[in-house]
Amino acid sequence: MKILVTGGTGFIGSHTCVKLLEADHQVVIIDNLVNSKKEIVSKIETLGKKSVEFYEGDIRDEEKLDEIFNHHAIDAVIHFAGLKAVGESVSMPLEYYDNNVNGTIQLLKVMKAHGCKKIVFSSSATVYGMNDNVPFKEEYPLSTTNPYGATKKMIEEIMQDLYVGDAQFSIALLRYFNPIGAHPSGLIGENPNGIPNNLLPYIAKVANGELEQLSVFGDDYDTVDGTGVRDYIHVQDLAEGHIAALEYVKSNVGIEAFNLGTGEGYSVLQVVKAFEKASNKTVKYQVVNRRPGDIGSCYASTQKSKNILKWEAKLDLDTMCVDAWNYVQTCKETK
């Protein structure tokens, strides 16, 4: 199949592109490079041992999308492109709604116009809001606590309505939990611009001496050690989940949501300890007040993905941390 991957040079997108090439799909990427670099394209090609078509552009640009669909017989789309920082979304809500929601609408319009009706969408566990009844199941009512989560929920609703209006569409909504790790080669991984928004890149920068210490937001939750518990999933497993979802939309019509997680929660301090073991470095941290809107525990029910997608996560927390540290060291050597 020929697959258009929006946001294909990003953290999850790049790993998925490699898996697509390994599965013998043809890959076309569109990315505006807001939070990634063009050099990732050659790394994807090196790892996947095949070439990709790359377009630098924004999914809000209908003409650019038309150009791609006119030049390529796109069979399906995997849609990653979007702004993704929860905290930033609170201070920049209009940018998030414009980029994530408006961008998706433009993409869906062009897909429909060209008769391409298979899409795998990068959603998020943030659509479960403040629900603290773990594990989170796909049938739970949805709610959000920030604009980023609201854009994901809104896009899911738009896609539900799209299917009602056109029952030829096949849509997989993938609700990620907390992707970490890196490709075992060390060539691609998570390297955010500026101060990281996510836990593991922040821990890595502390271990690497780039940041002084980690702030741990609260140690009085009802968890194993009082710190927040999350479902961390290796980005390699997550990428495999997209291949499974692609196979699903290839042979089914309709719209379905799937959790992509391990079904197991780890606390902040458990992640710190695992990273210290992987890096042989001490990660300094300071406990500070809870953040508003945070919940104690968040992890996935994985039964639906196992039953329908025939997919489940295989890699453990130690492997996630080893691969992430390997990537940090590779970046250091190539500077």
| pLDDT tens, position by position, 80-137 | 999 988 888 889 999 999 999 999 999 999 999 999 999 999 999 999 988 778 999 9
Cα separation, 335 vs 331, in Å, equals 6
Helix-helix angle 39-48:11-22, to 10 degrees? 30
pLDDT recorded at residue 196: 76
For residue 126, give the DSSP letter: G
The per-type count for the chain, helices as H runs and strands as E runs, is: 12, 14
Token pair for residue 141?
């009512």
Q: What is the pLDDT of residues 156-174, one digit of tens each?
A: 999 999 999 999 999 999 9
- Mean pLDDT, range 235-253, rounded to an integer: 97
Average pLDDT over residues 210-217: 93
Q: Which domains does the chain have, with CATH numbers?
A: 2-182+233-261+300-313 (3.40.50.720), 199-229+264-299+322-334 (3.90.25.10)
Neighbours of 137 (CB within 10 A): 16
pLDDT at 333 over 90: no
- What's residue 253's pLDDT? 96
Bridge-based pairing state of the strands 266-267 and 229-230: antiparallel
pLDDT confidence tier of residue 331, bands split at 50, 70 and 90: confident
Residue 267: pLDDT above 90?
A: yes
- Which residue has 């271990």 as its token pair? 207
- At residue 103, φ and ψ (nearest 5 deg) are -60, -40
- 135-152 pLDDT per residue, tens: 999 999 999 989 999 999
Question: Given this model, what pLDDT does residue 127 score?
Answer: 95
Determine the pLDDT at residue 193.
Answer: 64
Spatial CA neighbour of 174 closest among 134, 138, 217, 224: 138
* Mean pLDDT taken over the chain: 94
Question: Sorting pLDDT into bands at 50, 70 and 90, what band is 57?
Answer: very high
Percent of the chain at pLDDT above 90?
86
Q: What value, to the nearest 5°, has the Cα angle with vertex 321 and ends 318 and 322? A: 85
Positions marked catalytic: 148
**pLDDT of amino acid 335:** 59
What residues contact residue 246 under an 8 Å CB cut-off, 6+ apart?
1, 3, 20, 25, 76, 78, 120, 172
Residue 182 pLDDT exceeds 70 = yes
Look at residue 180 in the predicted model and tell me its pLDDT: 95
